[in-house]
Structure formats: C-alpha cells, structure tokens
C-alpha cells in the first residue's frame, strides 16, 4: 500500500489500542489479505480514522483487497469498476462540486452515495464515465 508517506498514523494511540488493532486486523484477514469491508468494520468498531487502519494493515504486511468502489483487489482483472451507462444528473452535480482538478476522494464518493442512498460503486462508476479520477483512498491504498 505505502501511501502513508512514511507517517506513523499510530503515534498518538495507546499501546493497548495498537495491540487491539493488530489483533483485529489479523483476525479479519485471510491469507495475507483483508477486504475493504473488513477494514472499515474495524474503523467503526474501534472508532479510529480509516488511515490509521490502513497504516496498521500496511505495517503488518497485509494487503487490501476488494475495494468497495471496485478500483482494485478483484480477480482476474483486479478492477471491476466500469463506466456508468447512464448519467444521473443529481449524482453528477454533487461529483462536480466535490471534484478538484478532475479528481475526487474516496471519502467524497462515500458521502455522495450515502446522501443519495445509492451504492458506492454506482457513484464511482459515474466518475469513471466522467473520467474523474478517484483519489486518495481513505485507507491509503492509492
């Protein structure tokens, strides 16, 4: 992953919390991989920011898989995100407001999807159609 710019995201966490995070990540991982869904379950359970979990996953040399936006971690093609067939103007207006220099964050995609009560991957697929790049990842994968 390595998108944490060598910053220790855990420096303000207690040793007990770091150990708990390690245990949860190992418990929810399988064969050296943890899904985006499982990583976010840890975020919600432990109440830390996603970047902390992403940093800990990276430190444990575990790889993220099955991005909830469909951007990486799927077999055989890694990426399952496809451009939307139709353009939903409500989603497009929100994406246009949140994007900067033809990029929008993963967090903003999640917020738009939640606000409009649609799936994250459908929101991301409209970005794909509009050729708006999604970055950065909340977990630090990209």
Give me the residues paired with residue 103 across strands: 100, 133
Whether the per-residue pLDDT at 9 is higher than 80: the answer is: no
125 vs 136: CA distance, rounded Å? 16
**Polymer length of the chain:** 142
pTM of structure:
0.90
Whether the per-residue pLDDT at 56 is higher than 80: the answer is: yes
Number of H helices and E strands in the chain, helices first, is 6, 4
Give the pLDDT band of residue 11 (cuts 50, 70, 90): confident
pLDDT in tens, 25-48: 999 999 999 999 999 999 999 999
pLDDT at position 10 is 82
Q: What is the DSSP letter of 64?
A: E
């Amino acid at each position: 992953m390595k998108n944490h710019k060598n910053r220790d995201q855990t420096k303000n966490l207690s040793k007990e919390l770091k150990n708990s995070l390690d245990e949860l990540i190992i418990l929810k991982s399988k064969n050296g991989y943890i899904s985006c869904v499982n990583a976010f379950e840890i975020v919600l359970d432990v109440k830390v920011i996603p970047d902390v979990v992403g940093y800990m996953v990276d430190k444990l040399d575990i790889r993220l898989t099955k991005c909830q936006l469909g951007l990486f971690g799927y077999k055989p093609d890694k990426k399952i995100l496809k451009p939307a067939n139709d353009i939903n103007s409500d989603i497009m207006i929100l994406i246009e407001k949140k994007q900067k220099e033809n990029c929008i964050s993963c967090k903003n995609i999640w917020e738009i999807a939640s606000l409009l009560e649609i799936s994250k991957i459908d929101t991301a697929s409209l970005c794909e159609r509009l050729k708006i790049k999604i970055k950065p990842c909340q977990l630090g994968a990209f």
